A = this chain, B = another copy of it.
Amino acid sequence: MNKYYSITELTREFGISTRTLRFYEDEGLIHPERRGRTRLFRPADRRLIQEILRGRRIGFTIAEIREIIQVYKDPPGEMGQLRLLMSRVEEKREELRQKRKDIEDTLAELDNVEEACLTRLAEIGVGT
């Protein structure tokens, strides 16, 4: 069985362009199979793309995403490397926690904006 996805199938599912997927391959993020020159994406490739897009949404660069992928498929074996990796992971987490806070603050602000809008609408409504 082993279903394959075509490139446009995936671009449609994820709302991205073929250029983007080819670009991600050039950048070493994904490695779809080939039949002749044509790319064949397997479920694992699909899941990887989902993760890439998630990384993109939260503002990771291609380089950062590549790095995370590397860690997953090939965790370093040497001690110093491991420690280095861990400290970099901790940095990333701190950054993400900050970002989460930023988002929560902004969501709260947007609540205010919405309320102000509703008030304003009521005023106008009354005047009409």
Interface residues, chain A, with chain B CB atoms under 8 Å away = 54-55, 57-59, 71-72, 75, 77, 79, 82-83, 85-86, 89-90, 92-93, 96-100, 102-107, 110, 113-114, 116-117, 120-121, 124
Contacts and interface: CB of A to CB of B under 8 A. Distances in A.
Contacts of A97: 107
The 10 closest A-B pairs by CB, nearest first: A59-B59, A58-B102, A54-B102, A86-B117, A100-B103, A57-B102, A96-B103, A93-B110, A58-B103, A82-B117
A58 B101 CA distance: 10
A58 B105 CA distance: 11
A97 B119 CA distance: 24
Contacts of A85: 113, 117
17 contacts: A54-B105, A54-B106, A58-B103, A59-B59, A72-B113, A75-B116, A75-B117, A75-B120, A77-B120, A79-B121, A82-B120, A83-B121, A86-B117, A89-B110, A93-B110, A96-B103, A103-B103
